[in-house]
Amino acid sequence: MKTPSRIAPLVTDGLVDKVLRQLMSGKEAMVYVVQCGDEIRCAKVYKEANKRSFRQAVDYTEGRKIKNSRQARAMEKGSRYGRKEQEAAWQHAEVDALYRLAAAGVRVPTPYNFHEGVLLMELVADEDGEPAPRLNDVVLSDEVARQFHAILLRQVVRMLCAGIVHGDLSEYNVLVDSEGPVIIDLPQAIDAAANNNASRMLERDVDNLAAYFGQFAPELLTTSYGKEIWSLYETGKLHPESELTGAFEPEETLADLNEVMQIIDAASDEDAARRARKEAARLGDLSG
C-alpha cells in the first residue's frame, strides 16, 4: 500500500522498509503492519488531539512529570507550543509505560522505537503469524474465562507494583496470542502514586474485567478484587505474587469517645470565651 505521510520519515531513516497494510483505526491512533528487515512489526500513528475521540485527558495526565517549567507554563496557557508539548507528553506516556511494564514482566507488546509521533512495536500474533484477535472477539468457555481473568488480574498487580494503572482496561484493550492475554493501548496510563484518580481507575479497570468474564463465569461478578488490590498497595503489602481472595472488608475503626469529648469541650470553651470577649467589648462601648 501507499506509505502514509506520518510513516514516511521512518522509511527515510531506514526504520521501516515498507507498509504492508492498515491493521486498525482506533480512538487514539491508526495502526499499520510494516516490514522491518526480516521482521513484521506494528507502527502506531497517534491521532492529533482534535481528531481523537478519547476524552477526560485531565484525569489521566494529573501527576505526570513535565521536563521543565517552561513546558509546564505553556501547557497551562494552552499556547501553540504548549499544545504541541502536551501531545508529545501524551504519546511518550505509552512508550515509557511499555518499557517499564516489559521490564516488570507484564505481557505488553515490545516497543522498538518512537519517531516523529509513530511508535514502532511488536506485532502480537497468533499461532499462524496473523495479528492476534482482541479478547472480545474470542469465544471463551467458563474455564478459560476464569483462567484469563486470573492472568489479567496478575498483570494488573504487576503493573501497580511498577507504579502504573492502565486507566482504560477492558476486553477491547487486550489481545490473545498463543500464550494468552496481552495488554495494549497505554497512552492514558497513569502514575499510581501521583494521580488522585488512581484508586478509582484501578477499580474501574478491574470491574471491567469482572463484568466481561462474568458473562462466562458469573461468580466473578460478586468479587471485589479492585478494592483488595488497592488496599494492599496503599498499605505497602502488595507484591507481584500477592495472593488475592476477591473479598474485601473495609476496616472499621471505633471512635475514641474520650478524644471526641475533648474536641467538643474545647469547642465549647472557645465559643464561651468568644462570647465573653464580645460582651466585654459591648459593655466597654456603653461605658465610653
* Phi, psi of 15, rounded to the nearest 5 degrees: -80, -30
- Residue-wise pLDDT for 225-261, tens only, equals 999 999 999 999 999 999 999 998 876 555 567 776 7
Whether residue 66 is predicted with pLDDT greater than 80 in this model: the reply is no
**Is 185 a catalytic site residue?**
yes
Whether residue 75 is predicted with pLDDT greater than 80 in this model: the reply is no
Mean pLDDT value of segment 4-22: 95
**Is 59 a catalytic site residue?**
no
Confidence of residue 286 (pLDDT cuts 50, 70, 90): low
Residue 47: predicted pLDDT: 81
Total number of residues shown for the chain: 288
The single residue of 185, 191, 205, 207 carrying the catalytic annotation is: 185
The single residue of 168, 191, 205, 207 carrying the catalytic annotation is: 168
Distance from first CA to last CA of the chain, Å, rounded?
96
Report DSSP letters for 77-136, one per residue.
Answer: HT-HHHHHHHHHHHHHHHHHHHHHHHHTT---PPEEEEETTEEEEE--B-TTSSBPPBGG
Predicted TM-score of the model (pTM): 0.77
CA distance 33 to 2: 12
User: Are the beta carbons of 226 and 247 closer than 8 angstroms?
Assistant: no
